[in-house]
Amino acid sequence: MARSGKPLTPIQMIVGIAMWLGVALIPIVFEITEVRLAFGRTGTPGTATVTYCTDTDTSPYCSGTFTPDDPPSTPVTVTLRADSKEDDVFPAQLHPDGIHAYPTDFGGRASTLAIPALGILILIPLPWALAYKYLRHVPGKISLSVMGALAAVPAGITLIGLAMPNF
């Protein structure tokens, strides 16, 4: 039901801002580990080979072997990203749990950044919305152009990251 001109109470405003921040920050927080792995900040570097991919009732599943770059290490069986294809070989990082490996090539990094970039994209209009709500300031053309330019970067990263597994 639409509110007809009634101003929001302070509690309603705080809840609205908290929900906006929650929706924007959750994708960033939950993907930090994968981003750190994709960029080689944590985990064990090596090479992953996809040996098996199947579609289960709930989602696709891929597994393969991970061979660490350290010569004396032996290959281990790992779970790989669902967008992998059988017989693919790519550079990867082994998660510290030893069960998952994440690609570190351009496609792996781009697809890993897609979700956090979406969170940043959701955050960008927040200052403009707060200025409009609290200061009754309608954003001008230059301000909207700045917001559009700022939004173009995470939007591009999100689109590239979502499209990369298809190439």
Question: For the chain, what is the mean pLDDT?
Answer: 86
Residue among 34, 36, 29 at smallest CA distance from 119? 29
Write down the pLDDT at residue 139: 77
Helix, strand, coil percent values for the chain (each to nearest 5)? 50, 20, 30
CA angle 93, 56, 27 (to 5 degrees): 50
CA distance 22 to 55: 32
Amino acid at 53: C
Predicted model pTM: 0.78
Which parts of the chain register pLDDT below 50? 1
